[in-house]
Amino acid sequence: MSKTEFQSIEEIRLRAFDILKEKSLETAQNYCDIRSGAETGASFRRSRQALDELSLRTRLLHGVNAVDTTTTILGTPLTTPVLTAPIAGTAVPGKAYAEVIQACARVGTLCIVGYPQPREAIRSFADIEEKKMGWIIKPLKDLKELKSCYQLAEEVGCVVTGMDLDSAAGLHSGYIPGLMDELAKTHWSFKTVDDLKAIRDLTSLPFIVKGIMSVDDAEKCVEAGADAIIVSNHAGYALDCAEAPIDVLPEIVDAVGRKIEVLMDGGIRHGTDILKSLAFGAKAVLVGRPTVWGFTAGGEDGVVRLLELLTSELVRAMKLTGVADIKDVPVGILA
C-alpha cells in the first residue's frame, strides 16, 4: 500500500502498530491505543469514554452544502482546526520532525513541536521555507535555559511558543520506566502565577499554556499573560483517574473564552470528536498519538493523509448536523 492510499484512520493505526511492534510490543501498544495512560490507564480511557458518550443531533433541512473549516489561531490562519500536538521522545526523533512540520504546512495547519528535541534538530527547522510551527517547552527550573529555548524558537521562525505545565511531576510511562520521573526531579518544577508571569515575559511570541484542567488554573493563566491554553490531561499520562478534557472544557470556555483562546487535546480520534469539542467552545483541537500513527505508517505523506481524513470526517459531520462554519458551532448539535 502506498503512503497516500490509506482509506481510514483505522488503517493508518493498524499499519503503525505493525511497524512499531517490530521494535517493541510495549511501545506499539502504548502509541496505538491498546495499553495507554498512567498507572491504571483510567485517565486515558475516560478521555475516550467522555467523547463517546456525547451524541450528535442529525439535522438535514438546512441547505448547507458547503462548509468552512478555516480558522485563525493566535494570528496564524489555518485551513483546518486540527493541529499536531507536541510529541517528545523517540516517536518522532530529532530532524525527522521536519516531516511532520512539512506535512502540516501542506495541509495548512500548525505543528506544535515537542520537548525535549536536540537543539541541532530545532535549528535545522529554520531551513523549512513554508512552515507553521510552534515549540512548547517543559516546565524547566532553569530560567536561563528557558530563555535560551524561547530565543531559539524565535530564531527558527516559530509563530507560537509556550509551556507544558503538567509534566512537572513526571509522566508515568510504562515503556520508558522512570525516565520522565527523573527528568521531573532534576530539571522540571511546578510554577506559581508569578513564576509564569516571569516566564511569559521571556518571549515576544504568542504564549500557550498546555495542561489546563480547571477554571482556577485557566484564570491564573489569563492573569499571567498567556494568549491561549490547551485543555489537556496529557493523554492520560499525568494524573491517573483524572477528568477528561471534554468534561471540563465547557466551564473553562465560559470562564476565560472571551479573554484568551481555548484549545483542547485528549482522545481526539475522529471528525466527530473534533465537532463535539468545537461545540463546547474549543477553537481547535490537537492530535498526538494519531500523528505518530501517520508518521510511522508513511512519514510526511502519512501525516498529511491522517490530517486529510480527520478534516474530511469533520466536514461530513458538519453537513449532517447543519453546521456551516467551524467558527460558529452551536452547542445545540449535542444531544
- The values of phi and psi at residue 209, to 5°, are -110, 125
Q: What is the rounded distance in angstroms from the CA atom of residue 244 to the CA atom of residue 115?
A: 23
Q: What is the rounded distance in angstroms from the CA atom of residue 280 to the CA atom of residue 325?
A: 14
> In this structure, is the dihedral angle defined by the CA atoms of residues 140, 231, 259 and 70, taken in order, positive or negative?
positive
> Which residue, 267, 266, 148, is CA-closest to 199?
148
CB atoms within 10 A of CB 177: 10
Q: How far is CA 311 from CA 111, 133, 288, 296, 325, in A?
A: 15, 19, 15, 20, 13
Q: Which residues contact 54 (CB under 8 A, 6 or more apart)?
A: 246, 276, 334, 335
Grid cell digits, residue 133? 510551527
The DSSP code sequence of 37-57 is SSTT-HHHHHHHHHHHH--B-
234 given a catalytic annotation = yes
> Longest C-alpha distance within the chain, in Å?
59
> Which residue, 200, 194, 250, is CA-closest to 226?
200
- Rg of the chain over Cα atoms, rounded to whole angstroms, equals 19
Residue 143 in contact with residue 202, Cβ under 8 Å?
Answer: yes
Residue 58 in contact with residue 334, Cβ under 8 Å?
Answer: no
Query: Which entry of 62, 187, 234, 270 is annotated as an active-site residue?
Result: 234
DSSP 234: G
- The values of phi and psi at residue 207, to 5°, are -120, 125
Residues known to be catalytic: 234
